[in-house]
A = this chain, B = another copy of it.
Amino acid sequence: MPNQKLGTQTIAFTTPPVILGHAAVAGKKEGDGPLGQSFDYISIDSYWGEQTWEQAEAMMQKKAFALAADKAGVAPSSVEFLFAGDLLNQCIGSSFGSRESDIPFFGIFGACSTMGEGLILAAMTIAGGFANTVAAVTSSHFCTAERQFRFPLEYGGQRTPTSQWTVTGAGATILSATGNGPAVTHVTPGKIVDLGIKDPNNMGAAMAPAAYDTLRQHFEDTGRRPDEYDLIVTGDLGALGHEVVTDFFAKDGVKLRTYQDCGLMIYDREQQHVDAGASGCGCAATVLNGTILNAMRAGRWNKVLFCPTGALMSTTSAQQGESIPGICHAVAISTVG
């Protein structure tokens, strides 16, 4: 058996798949934020040259994929499988973004955890010996998300202090069986956790228990201490969710010294008026494929635990009074053996 299951939920890759290339594209607001310099492409046009925001989102995925393949030094046509997903109904950002790619396609849905789900499945596809080169792509767009999940933009709906701002951005990662770059060493696919939180304007709190569950399991399965990671980063829990996870671990007597959240990194919360932080599949995707992987290549961080989180709900489930199921997938990335 070439790969090893650790504990109940974690897979350790004997030959860790390498992140050969990665790219992040983002909107103007994200470009103006503290991480703006780390993104490969910024569009000041919210339509990205297209006719609709949904087409813009598909264009963002196309652009992120093309840039990542180019930076990886691989021909797009040599990518053997593509994992992609997004927040739009029936994931049209991904299917329309990939329809001209001519690459066997797996649509995935993990809400804002999608970048993690894609990385896990892409890494498993390579480590299982099924392919040499696989891509994972995801996106979100503030305008498509607002009108689908909340209000028409023209309405100017009031935002609650716990609400999060959907990132306009897409990220793509090209993984390979060989080559140079940070490698995916361990993955801990998450379980759905639902503690009964029903407020769709407080997703961070709804997703935090899932993040705690997956992180705790990852440490237990691998025997690693949180301090071994130069960075532990959840995907878009925002201010409240970050606090909940920190508190949960504190109750276990564990202090997370290197813990950050993508939703707190991408905007200047005060200057950019984003309330509790950022959200959307594009949040963790751009922070990973822009900021984090660039910093790992530059030697700033060697071991990172990337843990994007998702709220697996819809407007229909919220209107029917359902609580919000959360999920979190953990991906350990390392520049060292």
Contacts and interface: CB of A to CB of B under 8 A. Distances in A.
Interface of A: 1-3, 5, 9, 11, 51-52, 54-55, 80-81, 85, 87-92, 95-96, 98-99, 101-111, 117, 120-121, 124-125, 127-131, 148, 188-192, 194, 312-317, 320, 322, 325, 327
B104 A191 contact: yes
A317 B58 CA distance: 11
A99 B192 contact: yes
A325 B189 contact: no
Contacts of A107: 85, 108-111, 117, 312, 327
Which 4 A-B pairs have CB atoms at the shortest separation, nearest pair first?
A: A128-B128, A95-B312, A90-B314, A107-B109
Given A102-B191, A104-B190, A104-B191, 20 more contacts: A1-B129, A81-B189, A87-B90, A89-B316, A91-B109, A92-B312, A92-B322, A95-B192, A95-B312, A96-B317, A105-B191, A106-B117, A106-B120, A107-B110, A107-B312, A124-B124, A127-B128, A128-B128, A128-B129, A128-B130
Contact of A101 (B88, B105, B111, B192): B192
Nearest to A120: B106
A105 B88 CA distance: 20
Contacts of A109: 85, 90-91, 107-109
A3 B130 contact: yes
A274 to B, nearest CB: 22
Contacts of A120: 106
A26 to B, nearest CB: 23
Given A121-B106, A192-B95, A192-B98, A131 B5 contact: yes
B2 A2 contact: yes
7 contacts: A90-B312, A96-B322, A99-B312, A101-B191, A105-B190, A106-B108, A107-B327
Listed residue (A103, A105, A110, A313) with the most chain B CB atoms within 10 angstroms of its CB: A105
B89 A314 contact: yes
